[in-house]
Structure 1
């Protein structure tokens, strides 16, 4: 099966909002080749399928952050309507509301993108943990070496010349 879009193309469409990984209604509408208004209508008609942890309306501040972060949302700047944010489950639920063959194919690719995004996050967390463990080991080795050097320095007699003083001549 030919992928409509590569998974990596979806990564830039996934945002962190309110602790969720979400996609914005305008991006989803563009992917499904429909108007944002029509997408929102389907969600409103089927509201029982979209609880708050599946889809939520962004706040004014969140909308401003999206506009500042992405040029493609510039048209939202002066809009009186805040965009809707769809979590992974909300995007999956869209496939039951939008039934065109294109919508099904796009949903499959979006689900793959969410899985890929999660894998990247897990890999980065594992890498971060390993780096911290190595850093701690290196710090311990350096501390051990510094302690050894300090102890040796205290044991060693000073090396060098001493100037004779009148006391030494007596």
Structure 2
């Protein structure tokens, strides 16, 4: 479960897609980023633009604080049942921004990386994506419920306002009746 949380921390939202970066995937698969990218380039037909794309320098610069925060958070992670998690440390400057892989692109990676480690990590990554989707659906349901509650509250506010107006009218009528009954009598 800890490995899935670690993977979830490395899933970023970029261009409206949930993606993982090439160096994070390479670390999880225990291969060099260069080797991962070479395997992808050799099989480029398997990776259309909706499966994999390269970040722009601006996107990568905006993402760096998040990456560093994840790396600081994973410092305490030890070798988890021989599943070590190593990520981009920022020490070696990259000549180009990283490639990003969508969930479908990561599934396609399993076809070109056939080591036992790659298969195990691919299963864990797919589970992490499924868990994120489940969480997002729960949040969506909660938003709908909150909207319904807000609607009910606003309806109740209108109803309460009507009740308060009616009570004020009754009190005004009662006060007028009291004034009429307590007036000074003239005549008989």
Residue 150 of structure 1, CA deviation: 1.9
Larger deviation, residues 139-148 vs 124-133: 139-148
C-alpha distance in structure 2 between counterparts of 1:10 and 1:57, whole Å: 20
| Residue 66 of structure 1: aligned partner | 63
Question: Over residues 76-107 of structure 1, what are the superposed CA-to-partner deviations in whole Å (9 max), with x where a residue is unaligned?
Answer: 89533101000001001111111101101110
Equivalent residue, structure 2, for 1:84 = 99
4+ residue segments displaced more than 4 Å: none
Residue range with higher mean Cα deviation, 134-143 or 90-99: 134-143
Tell me the TM-score normalised to structure 2 length: 0.77
Show the counterpart of 1:143: 158
TM (norm. structure 1) is: 0.84
Secondary structure, counterpart of 1:6 in structure 2? helix
Match of 1:93 in 2: 108
Name the SS for the 2:20 alignment partner: strand
Structure 2: which 5+ runs fail to align? 72-87
- Residues 55 and 86 of structure 1 are in contact (CA less than 8 Å); yes or no, is this contact kept in structure 2? yes
Q: Which of the numbers 32, 37, 53 marks the counterpart of 2:34?
A: 37
2:66 is equivalent to residue 56 of structure 1: no
What residue is the counterpart of 1:24 in the other structure?
21
Higher relative contact order (CA 8 A, sep 6+): 2
Q: CA RMSD in A?
A: 2.2
CA contact (8 A) 1:60 1:82 kept: yes
